[in-house]
Structure formats: C-alpha cells, structure tokens
Amino acid sequence: MRRSAIRDKAAIVGIGQTRFARTLEASEYEMAVEAIWNACEDAGISPRQIDGVVRYDIEQIDEEQLLSVLGNPHLRFFSATSWGGGGSASVLVVAAAAIAARLAETILVYRARARGKRSSYGPGKHQGGRYWEKIPNVLPGPNQWHVPHGLVAAFQEMAMISMRHRIEYGTTDDQYADVAIAFRYHASRNPAAVMRTPITREDHHRSRMVSDPLRLLDCNIETDGAVALLVTSVERARDLRQPPAVIHAGAMAAGSHHIRLPTFFERPFEEQSPVRVARELFAQADCRREDIDCAFFYDFFTSMVILALEQYGFAPRGEGGPFVENGGLQWPRGRLVCNTNGGQLSEAFIHGFNNTAEAVRQIRGTSTSQVPDCEFVLVAGANTDPTGAVILRRL
Amino acid sequence: MAGEERSFVTRDIPLPAPTPDTAPFYEAARRGELRLQRCSDCGMFRHYPRPACPRCLSRRFGWERASGRGTVYTWTIVRGPTLPAFESKLPYNVVDVLLEEGVHFVSEVLDCKPEELYAGMPVEAVFVPVTDEITLVKFRKAQSSSAPST
C-alpha cells in the first residue's frame, strides 16, 4: 500500500440538488445556484465561505458568474477537469488535492445541465443542449476522422465499443437488460428519480434500437438539473452538520481519448485509463475490492457498466456480463450493489454528479436503497479515456 | 442545399479542413490512394496523422501507400438521432476497419445491408469524391481474392 498525500484529508460535507426533470424552465445558472444554496444549507456553511471551485470543463456557468452571486468570496483555488463524464470523479480528486495542499478550505464542486430547449440554446429542432448537435461543418481537428462518416455522438462511439465487447465475449441483450432492470428498480424506490416505473426484460428487448447493439433502454435519460457538493478538510468536517464522506483515495488517468476511435482499439486493455485508475486507487486504499460496499459506475449505457466491472477488477475480463445476471447489481443482495439512486439510466443524467451525491447518501446512511453498514463506496467517472475515480469512506 | 431552412446546424456533411499535418492524406485520397504515416525509424504505421511516433518517439516519418485492405473490427448501425446531414441515410453503418498495416480506420462499408456486417469481414478501400478538395475513404466488401481473412 502506498500512502497518497490526499488520503483521508478531505471530505464531502454538503450535497445539494435541484429537482430533476426532462425539461425544467430554469436556466443552468439558476439551477447551479439552487443546487449550491442547497448544498450550503445541508452543510451549514455560508456561500461566502467558499474559497475554491472545481468544475467540469464542459460546464457553462463559470467562476466569474458564480462569484457574482456568492457574495464575492475570496476564491483561492479554481480548476476544471476535462472530458465530460470522464472528469466527473476527477473533480473530487482535484478538490481533495487542493484541500490537502491547503490551497483552499471549502471547495465547491458542481454540475448544472440543461438539455431543455428553452433553458439552454433556443427553440429549434436541432438546438438542444447536446454538444454534438453543434458540430461545425468544417473539421480541422480529430473529429474529421469519424464525423464525416456519420459517427457524430458519444452513444454511437460507445455502441462500437460495446459491439466489440460482444464480439469478443458474447455479451448478450439479456445481460444489458439485467443492468437496466436493476437500476430502474432502484429508481422506483427513489422519489427524486425521473423514471420510476419498473421495467421488464421484455420492455428492454422491445425498446427501439438506437445504435446497434444499444437500445433506448440501454441509454441514460436526458434530463435537466444541477448537483453541487461542498468539500472541506476532515478536521473541519468533524464539526459540521452532516456525517462526512471522507475522500479516502483518488486517482486519474489519461490516455489517447475515446472519441479518437482509431486509437482506442489500438491500446491493450491494461492500458485503458479506467484500468490504470483502478490499479492506482486500490494501491492507495485501505480496502480491497471485496470491501467495497456499494459502487457507482458511470452508467451512460448499460454495456459500459458491464465493461467498467471488468476495468475496475470486480469481474475478470469478459465476465462482466455474467456478473450482472440474476440481480448482480441490485439492492439489497447483489454481488455488488450499484447506482442505488437509479443512476443515469433512471434517476437523472447530470454527467455522473447525481451518482456522486447518492454515494454520499450511502456513506451517511440515508439512501432510499441503503446498503447496511456501508463503509466504503467507489465512485467512478465515465469508463472511457481519460477518467478518474474516488473511494469514499465513513469517518 | 436549396430550400433548406437556415439553422444553427448545417445540413451539409461536416467535412475535413486539411491542415499541413493532414494535407498529404487528402492529396493521396484525391488520387485514389490510401496513404498513412509510417515511422522512418521503427517502421510502425500510424493513423490519425500526428507529428511523432507513439512507439519510438521518432519525429521522422514518411507517407506510405497502404494496401487499402482490411477487416471489419467492430461496427454500429446508426438508427438516429444523428446530424441533419445524415438523416436521409438512416439507418447507416459506421465501421472500424483494422487495416493490413495494423491501424484502425473509422469509415463506412458501402452497399452493405446491416445484417451482412460481421467481425472479420474482408473489405477494401474505395474513394468517394465529395468536393474538389475532399475525397472520403470508404470501404466495400472485398472483391479481390487476395483479401486477407484475418
């Protein structure tokens, strides 16, 4: 075991969110502020006390806009992590590093996301909040190697990765359904979830094919909403309102990234960023994989959860599919209970951050699908490249 | 594209804008040749084009003509949503071709029904002019008997 300098130095002490819905009237700015205020209320910390901000680099609401509503606090540290969902746990690694280095004491981490036509880009059919709908028609960069052939969206790229996994390991539609059913079941127990009606295997198989082999019920749901977290030092966390979720271990890894499919498949499995992240994470941690009580994988697609189980070492290579069978991920008796909020497949799609908020609830013991005596929780960013992950633990 | 409503999103296929890094690729494609960067020191092919070899770090390279032959490594059938420019093509395939030279190339297999695609399917490059400047490298089912069966 290698003791990292961020180990057990910082903790998540406040979580806040807006309502989640397919479309909200509020702007991303308004949603961000609502979530931030809720997180402050939860922690018993004034917005004026925030002295650090770490955001996703795809976030529209920047530090300047926030400062102008936070009572102009003295911001001592700010940073952004890259690659959308890949950076969704990395924000916590960066925040923990800044706390450990004493560059800031109270760090705000957040994501506000509006795909609703009114709240983001305008009323046109193709003016939603999806980045790929705004691809320019002149391509000097890496996307020139796939966009002109019609590969324009993340779900199509992930479909090709998923298809290769099926080719090599025979992963099945039934296994995809097992993931979707488990997470929808969790959502059915979570009043904040957008999609709460349980689904059957037949519902999954009947849902329309979006990009082979991915069906509609394999895909995350499009939602508006915001989630904010407050991270502070463990010493200070002891005196605050909520039981802290201590950032026990954290790691990031970057390789040649997923959008560049020409290079993705040229790298061996062991060199994929999530595999490297897992190696580093468990080298730092006080716990083994068997000690993880609950896990949150970036469930943008059912198939990518199956792949993540292999990348993070919970299932041998090629055996992620069998792992999820027979309620393998389902509360309360799964092999590894995952995404107890319903995940991005059913609760909401806030680029992974709604999953992180639920991970904190598991540590606090307040989930609607609570894992008994939950001590260690894994939270992983999107399992493409680059990415990051953290292990949270009870104090 | 007459009669199209003005929209933020183009209804034309987004096209590469050649840069000094990539111009040799597109010049070759216009001539009906698939050319790839090849490291002058370790001999490794690479794609997409970039200024150094990821294996030996050499910055010396040439543009070598590739056979154009390869096999389907993975694929998807896009059924939508997609960009407006591709909507009339739905459903269409996108394939990752493993070229004989050992590199992956994302493209499309022309004249191929979704159910015909399979991993290991032998394909060969065809060249589709789109504008005076840009010719896209597409693939078709291998016609020649010399196609590899890997």
- Structure confidence at residue B145 as a pLDDT band (50, 70, 90): low
Q: What is the pLDDT of residue A34?
A: 96
Judging contacts by C-beta atoms under 8 Å, the chain B residues touching residue A212 are 75-77, 79, 114
Q: Can you tell me the mean pLDDT for A339-366?
A: 97
- Structure confidence at residue A193 as a pLDDT band (50, 70, 90): very high
Q: Is A131 on the interface with B (CB under 8 A)?
A: no
Judging contacts by C-beta atoms under 8 Å, the chain A residues touching residue B82 are 150, 152-153, 156
Of B10, B15, B86, nearest to A150 by CB-CB distance is: B86
Q: Is A265 on the interface with B (CB under 8 A)?
A: yes
Q: What is the pLDDT of residue B126?
A: 97
The strand pair at A245-253 and A52-56 is best described as unpaired
**Whole-angstrom distance, CA of residue A164 vs CA of residue A209:** 17
* Min distance A350 CA to chain B CA atoms (Å): 20
Please tell me which residue, A224 or A133, carries the higher pLDDT value. A224
Q: Can you tell me the mean pLDDT for B111-122?
A: 96
Residue A374 has pLDDT above 60, yes or no: yes
**Whole-angstrom distance, CA of residue A346 vs CA of residue A334:** 18
- Tell me what ipTM this predicted complex has: 0.91
- Structure confidence at residue A344 as a pLDDT band (50, 70, 90): very high
Mean pLDDT across chain A, nearest whole number? 92
Closest Cα to residue A283, out of A313, A316, A255, A304? Answer: A313
Please tell me which residue, A97 or A260, carries the higher pLDDT value. A97
How does pLDDT run across A133-183, given as a tens digit for each residue?
667 788 888 889 999 999 998 899 999 999 999 999 999 999 999 999 999
Q: Can you tell me the mean pLDDT for A335-344?
A: 98
How does pLDDT run across A49-75, given as a tens digit for each residue?
999 999 988 888 888 888 888 887 889
Q: Can you tell me the mean pLDDT for B57-71?
A: 98
Please state the separation of Cα A330 from the chain's center in Å. 18
Q: Can you tell me the mean pLDDT for A227-248?
A: 97
Residue A274 has pLDDT above 60, yes or no: yes
Judging contacts by C-beta atoms under 8 Å, the chain A residues touching residue B126 are none
Of B96, B108, B134, nearest to A160 by CB-CB distance is: B96
| 3-class state of residue B116 by DSSP | helix
The strand pair at B92-99 and B69-78 is best described as antiparallel
Q: Is B139 on the interface with A (CB under 8 A)?
A: no
Closest Cα to residue A160, out of B95, B122, B134, B64? Answer: B95
For A37-69, letters b (16+ CB in 10 Å) and e give: ebbbebbebebebbbbbbbbebbbbebeebbee
Q: Is A210 exposed, middle or buried (0-12, 13-18, 19+ CB in 10 A)?
A: buried
Residue A290 has pLDDT above 60, yes or no: yes
How does pLDDT run across B75-107, given as a tens digit for each residue?
999 998 888 889 999 999 999 999 999 999 999
H-helix or E-strand spanning residue B87: helix B84-87
Please tell me which residue, A354 or A137, carries the higher pLDDT value. A354
Q: Considering chain A, what percentage of its residues have pLDDT values greater than 70?
A: 94
Q: Is A1 on the interface with B (CB under 8 A)?
A: no
Give the global pTM: 0.94
Q: Is A259 on the interface with B (CB under 8 A)?
A: no
Q: What is the pLDDT of residue A119?
A: 40
Q: What is the pLDDT of residue A131?
A: 59
Q: Can you tell me the mean pLDDT for A312-327?
A: 98
- Structure confidence at residue A3 as a pLDDT band (50, 70, 90): confident
Note whether B9 contacts A134, CB cutoff 8 Å.
yes
Q: Can you tell me the mean pLDDT for A289-310?
A: 98
| List of residues 6+ apart from B135 with CB closer than 8 A | B26, B29, B30, B32, B127, B128, B129
Q: Is A123 on the interface with B (CB under 8 A)?
A: no
Residue B51 has pLDDT above 60, yes or no: yes
